Amino acid sequence: MPCEKEYEHLPHTADVIVVGYGETLEEAFENAAKGTFAVITDVNKVEPKECRTVEDEADDLQQALYKWIDDLLLYFDSEGMVFSKFEVKLTKIDGKYKIEGKACGEKFDPSKHEYGTIVKAMTYAEMKIEKVGDCWRVQFVVDI
């Protein structure tokens, strides 16, 4: 049975909890990225005109998720890029996770993209990576 949704935002005292779902762990990571950028703007209005790559290594899945989202937010901070399409591949080699990903979108344009809430950073707060039935679920807090 496919997952009921791609992502959702849950209430949190001062920040936002992002939850990404997927039939695979990689799809859950992709949808978590989409959910993160949906805090910033309406991702349905972001055209996948330009792509950026992410290549990183992590000691465990939580660190892999953190680095994936953090690297994407760095493109937002440094270049003003917002993304709507994501691909990620996770490979475990010698006890470490290799992250190879791509995000496609465009530079934030206030005449086209609605302002949401600026995401300052990815955090480990309330982070969970779990398989629930046939669906992977990844959850974390973003600092706004």
Which parts are annotated binding residues?
A: 15, 143-144
Give dist(CA 114, CA 111) in Å, integer. Answer: 8
Binding annotation for Ca(2+): 15, 143-144
